A and B are shown apart, each in its own frame.
Chain A
Amino acid sequence: KNEVEQSPQNLTAQEGEFITINCSYSVGISALHWLQQHPGGGIVSLFMLSSGKKKHGRLIATINIQEKHSSLHITASHPRDSAVYICAVRFSSGGGADGLTFGKGTHLIIQP
C-alpha cells in the first residue's frame, strides 16, 4: 500500500528554534513535495524534490531516496511560520495521470 507518514503530528516551539519535520514513504516515488497550509486553508508549494537538497530562505528540504525519507528544516523560526506542513509524494506507479498522496500534516506553532 502506498503510504506517507509524517512526524511529529504537532509541534510547538519558541521563536528562533531550529525546526525539523519528517516524512517517510513506503515505496518508490518520482517526486516529493513539501506544502504549507495556513489557517485559511490555502496551500502553498514550498519545495518539490526528487533527490538531494533544496534551500529557500530559512527553509531547507532534504530527501534520501534509499531510505525513503525526507526532512523539512526551518532555521531561526518565527511566529509567521506557524502553519500545517504537509508532505506529498507522487508514487512511481507507472502510467496514468495520478495525483499526489498526502501525509496527515504537521501542525507547527511558533510562540514569540
Chain B
Amino acid sequence: ETGVTQTPRHLVMGMTNKKSLKCEQHLGHNAMYWYKQSAKKPLELMFVYSLEERVENNSVPSRFSPECPNSSHLFLHLHTLQPEDSALYLCASSQGPAVRDTEAFFGQGTRLTVV
C-alpha cells in the first residue's frame, strides 16, 4: 500500500462513453501526476499538477481532461476515446516540484480497455 489509491482498477468503455478515473492521496503531497503505460512502451507523463494548478500538459489529446479540485484528489475525465487509448493509467504523487528530488508514490493503476 503506497498511500495513493486509484479507482476503478479496471474499466471497459465504448468509444462514445464518458468516464472518469479517480486518484486520491492523503500523504500531504503537493504534486500529482497522470502517467500512461501502453503495452511494450515506457511510462509516459501526461499531466502534472502542483498545488492544484496544472503545470504541464505533455501534448495529450483533448479527449483526456484532467481535474484537480484539491491537493488530495486528481481526476482524469475520458470522452470519445479510441481503441489505441487502451492502456494502464497510473497516478503518482510527490512532495512537490519545489522540492524536486523527492520520492514519487504510485497508485495501483487503472487498466482501461476501449472497445
Which residues on A are within 8 Å of B, measured CB to CB?
A: 4, 30-31, 33, 35, 40-45, 48, 50, 86, 88, 90, 96-105
**B interface with A by C-beta (< 8 Å):** 2, 31, 33, 35, 37, 40-45, 48, 50, 55-56, 88, 90, 92, 97, 100-109, 111
A98-B56 in contact given A30-B100, A42-B108, A44-B2 (Cβ < 8 Å) = yes
Q: Are B97 and A100 in contact (CB under 8 A)?
A: no
- For the complex, give the distance between the alpha carbons of A96 and B96 in Å: 11
Whether B45 lies near A99 (C-beta < 8 A) is yes
Q: Which of A45, A48, A88, A99 has a CB less than 8 Å from the CB of B48?
A: A99
B58 CB to closest chain A CB (Å) equals 8
Contact of B107 among A42, A86, A90, A102 (CB under 8 A): A42
Chain A neighbourhood of B104, CB < 8 A:
33, 45, 88, 99-100
